[in-house]
Amino acid sequence: MNELKASLSAYAAEAAERLMRTDFGRLAEIGERLLKAKAEGRTVFLMGNGGSAATASHVTNDLVKGCRAGDAPGFRAFCLCDSTALVTCLANDFSYEEVFSVLLRTYAQPGDVVIAFSGSGNSPNVVHGLKTARELGLSTIGFGGRDGGKMKALCDLLLLAPTDSMELLEDLHLVYFHDLVCALRPALARLAT
């Protein structure tokens, strides 16, 4: 029991310490980019795999509902990995590497925003999605870890969680977005008036 308790406490302490090493200036830049997109009526598309897909889905919920200001709607946001039927159809008929690219080519307009979540930054479908986003004239934002991987060169704005631990970086990505949602609410309320 004491060993387990110590291990649990150590993880929490490391998460707190790593969180405070965050580049909050970069997080603020991401917030400004999102506010600009909202003011211009742009769509935000989110993508990731595995745990990062779950984060993309959760963040979509936060953008649509959590960023409501009074009766004004939140962001127009769509998670590209939420439809199992659509993702598996595209993976089967094209390739898994192309699922996000096909969806962006179908739905996105120049000026829209893509947010990618990836611990390694090397997931082929995320990398292809970001390349497609660039080709289409979309703004690209990444939440990554480690050295940023291949997506580092494809993101206009990239925030790296300061850890090599996949568990910690996935935790931090969600904390970053909850932080953003809370920080954006006053500006969103001004936009709504």
**Residue 46: enclosing H or E segment and its boundaries?**
strand 43-47
Q: Which domain holds residue 24?
A: 2-192
Mean per-residue pLDDT of the chain: 96
- CATH code, 168: 3.40.50.10490
pLDDT in tens, 93-113: 999 999 999 999 999 999 999
**Residue 35: enclosing H or E segment and its boundaries?**
helix 24-39
> Is this structure's pTM higher than 0.85?
yes
Query: What confidence score (pLDDT) does residue 114 get?
Result: 98
Number of domains in the chain: 1
pLDDT in tens, 109-145: 999 999 999 999 999 999 999 999 999 999 999 999 9
DSSP track, 2-23 = HHHHHHHHHHHHHHHHHHTTS-
